[in-house]
Homo-oligomer: A and B are copies of this chain.
Amino acid sequence: MKFQNVKGTADYFGDEAFLRNNILDDIKEVFEKYGFLPLETPVLETFELLSIKDVGEQIKSQIYNFKDFGGRHIGLRFDLTLPLARFVANNPNLQLPFKRYQIGKVWRYEDVKKNRLREFYQADIDVVGSDSIEADVEVVACGLEALEKLGIKNFVLRLNNIKVMNSFFRKINLANKSLEILRILDKLDKIGKENVKKELRKIGVDEEKIFDFIENKKIYDISELDGSKEIFDFLDLSKIYGFDKKIKIDFSLARGLEYYTGNIFEVSVEEEKFSIAGGGRYDNLIGKVGKRNLPAVGFSIGVERVFNLLKSEYKKEQKIVFVANIKKEQKIDAIRIVLKLRENGIKTEYDLKNRDLKSQLEYANNKKIPFVILVGKEEIEKGIFRLKDMKKREEILFNSFGDLINFLKRDE
């Protein structure tokens, strides 16, 4: 190979590209059903925006950034939330609550040795301008319905609350270390329990106290902790929505981004051990980006993981017809049939390489095209249509174009 892909990026073609498009379309449909409107923001943002406080040091170190020809420091977005915050800040007359969805690529300089992509899709919904629990439940319900529409059923929604955690840390006199502790807990899935305990000890924290709590070894009355009402209200309303059975309260959950302020959630598929979606409430971020502060809550689907999860199950056939000319003399007639089929909305190809019939059939066969129409002298003279079913290896004759169309459309 002369030119390779940039590390951490990939090409997708044909069936795989179709699968990806279909998944994004399905997600979009559910997002719109919940009344979220599309927002499209640029890939390029000022580095000043991308690197504001509250984003978290780890992500900051992964931002693709550079000076443009005009000397401006810009970067590629690493999520869809900061662009949303900028959009809200710059458009003070938006109707509130502002409900938007955005599906698009984001970039992070991830470790490719761990098979991570550096350019990948996210699909986000957010409600800006409401601090009600209904907003929390709406984004989660909508996100979960999107996953269900894609056929993902056996998932768990882990639920935690940043206020509850901070309140607990205060209670055990570790308020000043709460951010550090949450950062360490966030690595639980990646580095495992023992390493997390080690790191907690390193910063002078009694790791057993923490683990007693997050593993529910001692029964704390969490209703005494700030923020517990947000969890209880979420649980109550989720019953009305009907997804309460999916929820697992998990005090070890500590999402990577440091701007969360209330309920946080993460969806994982049981057997896979990785999260495929997540989000939470972030009531202070908008104010950091703009002049007025607005509460907000969001949910994001990790589309690349969903792609991988569904890839193996996807074997949909392309409904496409190839019109083959038996001899060179029938080429123009073949093209006329192609044009008529397309007029009737049927996906149609013909030979663009002046090949003989054998090579045309090989091409159709290799491309797994299910139907070939054979156009020869006899067919033209008699006004009939000879269709070859490539899978069943049989031919069907149609006496009129209408019959052919009916057959091809019925088969859809």
CB–CB A348/B6 < 8 A: no
| Chain A 94-152 interface residues, beta-carbon cutoff 8 Å to B | 95-97, 99-100, 105, 107, 109, 118-119, 127, 129-130, 132, 134-135, 138
One of B38, B237, B322 near A14 (C-beta < 8 A): B38
Q: Closest chain B residue to A9 by CB distance?
A: B42
A314 within 8 Å of B by Cβ?
A: no
Cα distance, A119 to B77, chains bound together (Å): 13
Report B-chain residues with C-beta under 8 Å of the C-beta of A45. Answer: 5-6
CB 8 Å contact bits of A8-49 with B (1 = contact, 0 = none): 011111100110110000000000111101111111111011
One of B2, B74, B83, B132 near A353 (C-beta < 8 A): B132
Report B-chain residues with C-beta under 8 Å of the C-beta of A35. Answer: 320, 322, 347-349
CB–CB A127/B352 < 8 A: yes
Beyond A6-B74, A11-B40, A352-B127, is A32–B347 a contact (Cβ under 8 Å)?
yes
A245 within 8 Å of B by Cβ?
A: no
| Chain A 339-370 interface residues, beta-carbon cutoff 8 Å to B | 339, 342, 345-354, 363, 366-367
CB–CB B2/A130 < 8 A: no
CB–CB A37/B14 < 8 A: yes
A204 within 8 Å of B by Cβ?
A: no
One of B4, B5, B41, B118 near A11 (C-beta < 8 A): B41
CB–CB B129/A44 < 8 A: no
A218, chain B: closest CB distance, angstroms: 35
A155 within 8 Å of B by Cβ?
A: no
CB–CB A119/B42 < 8 A: yes
A177 within 8 Å of B by Cβ?
A: no
CB–CB B2/A46 < 8 A: no
CB 8 Å contact bits of A42-64 with B (1 = contact, 0 = none): 11111011000000000000001
Report B-chain residues with C-beta under 8 Å of the C-beta of A96. Answer: 353, 363
- Which residues on A are within 8 Å of B, measured CB to CB? 1-7, 9-14, 17-18, 20-21, 32-35, 37-46, 48-49, 64-70, 72, 74, 76, 83, 86-87, 89-91, 95-97, 99-100, 105, 107, 109, 118-119, 127, 129-130, 132, 134-135, 138, 237, 240-242, 289-291, 318, 320, 322, 332, 335-336, 339, 342, 345-354, 363, 366-367
Residue contacts A-B, CB under 8 angstroms, 28 given: A2-B290, A3-B89, A3-B290, A6-B42, A6-B46, A6-B74, A7-B70, A9-B42, A9-B43, A12-B39, A13-B38, A13-B39, A13-B100, A17-B40, A33-B345, A35-B348, A43-B76, A44-B64, A44-B118, A44-B119, A95-B366, A96-B353, A97-B352, A97-B353, A130-B352, A134-B350, A240-B339, A241-B339
